[in-house]
A and B are shown apart, each in its own frame.
Chain A
Amino acid sequence: MKLFATYRVLALLVGVLLAFCSLVAMPLKYLAADGGTWQRFGEQASILWVAHGWVFMIYVVVAFALSRKAGWSIAFTLVALVAGLVPLLIFWVERQVVRKVRDENPELTSSEPTGAVSS
């Protein structure tokens, strides 16, 4: 099943973009010396917020599809979706998702060694 692998790639991408935008670009844009090289860099890099938004859009769809396939609770699903909006949270959530899917729905990880045995 490709859904699980897609989810992991998107989670990583969303996480990196969000961390960069909120922890690097935004502080530089607002805190660096006005008009300086760093401030301008922060301002230009802010365009990545748009990239984050669009990747997050796809992430939400894929995460929701995975959630329904794996039969997650509403609460866990919500945490998985919202994780893409809280800096750094998604890296931890992704670990939880990987563990949960491997434990409860190994058939969704068929591209991995553990899944290959069972299928």
Chain B
Amino acid sequence: MPRTLNGVTSAFAPRLWGGHLLALLLVAATLALGWWQYSAYQAQRAAESRDLTHAAAKPLTSVMGGNDPFPGNEVGQPITATGTWVGGGTVFVSGREHGGREGYWVVTPLAIGTPDGSALPIVRGWVASLADAPPPPSGTATVQGWLQPTDGTGEVDTDRSDDVIPQVRTADLIQHVDQDLYDAYAVLDLSAVRADGEPDDARGLVQADLAELPPPAGGTGLRNLLYAIEWVFFAAFVGYVWWRWVQERIQEVSTVAA
């Protein structure tokens, strides 16, 4: 029985170009949709992280004690702490970015409870240069901020004689104070400090950015992640159908020729 010669001998035959183009467009479209869903997944998680930093503040003493290891599920938790400023222990942490500029964090320990109690390093704010830093605070205070785990980049303080350190690490900070330190630090909430007027020790400071945001719940954005996986799968499926289609076109020729 005569049959129309529908097939080709090569996958690159001009009559298949239309199909190739369609397949490429479909693969591109499915991958783009997958990427869109994956971006939505990441955006949702980032948004929830930011939301968690607006949670109600807890007293530091209920979150961790002076000798406790950092509570891993309290990263970025808003806390309040009451104590005595250890002004003499003020240090500057170099290489901190804010709005794309490198500057310093101004850190002063706050001895929690009694003046000789364990101190929590408080990042009071960010300055572009050391000359902009306000004088250290003194006396007792109740502060509000976000709890952060100390850095552990392993960077070495190359000049131990000054008050500039490369990271917020207990081993470096301990050189500048006479008491124990918490295994954590807090980033001061400057908006709370400036709620009623600008104190001298906050003048010129810029709110420091959190190094680590709280982790979102495991299920956050899960739908978008599952959709993203689906789209990648469909991209693979289009590729498979494409391949099958070319194979069948080529086979038709050999069947007719045989």
Which A residues are within 8 Å of any B CB, using their own CB?
A: 47, 49-50, 53-54, 57, 60-61, 64, 68
B22 to chain A, nearest CB (A): 11
Instruction: Write out the residue numbers on chain A whose beta carbons fall within 8 Å of the beta carbon of B35.
Output: none
When distances are taken between beta carbons in the complex, the residues of chain A under 8 Å from B230 are 53-54, 57
| Interface size bracket, B side | under 10
A60 pairs with B226, CB closer than 8 A: no
B226 near A61 (CB under 8 angstroms)? no
Are B227's CB and A60's CB within 8 A? no
Indicate if the CB atoms of B237 and A60 lie closer than 8 Å.
yes
Asked if A53 meets B244 with Cβ closer than 8 Å, knowing A60-B237, A61-B237, the reply is: no
Contacting pair A53 B237 (CB below 8 A):
no
Q: B18 to nearest A CB, angstroms?
A: 12
Q: Which of A54, A64, A68 contacts B226 (CB under 8 A)?
A: A54
In chain B between 191 and 240, which residues have their CB closer than 8 angstroms to a CB of chain A?
Answer: 223, 226-227, 230, 233-234, 237
CB-defined contacts of A64 to chain B, threshold 8 Å: 237, 241
Closest to A51 in B: B226
Query: Closest CB-CB distance, A48 to chain B, in whole Å?
Result: 11
> How far apart are the CA atoms of A68 and B248 in the complex, in Å?
10
Select from chain B the residue with minimum beta-carbon distance to A74.
B245
Bound Cα distance from A50 to B233, whole angstroms? 14
- A-facing residues in B140-176 (Cβ within 8 Å): none
Query: Which residues of chain B from 34 to 89 have a CB within 8 Å of any chain A CB?
Result: none
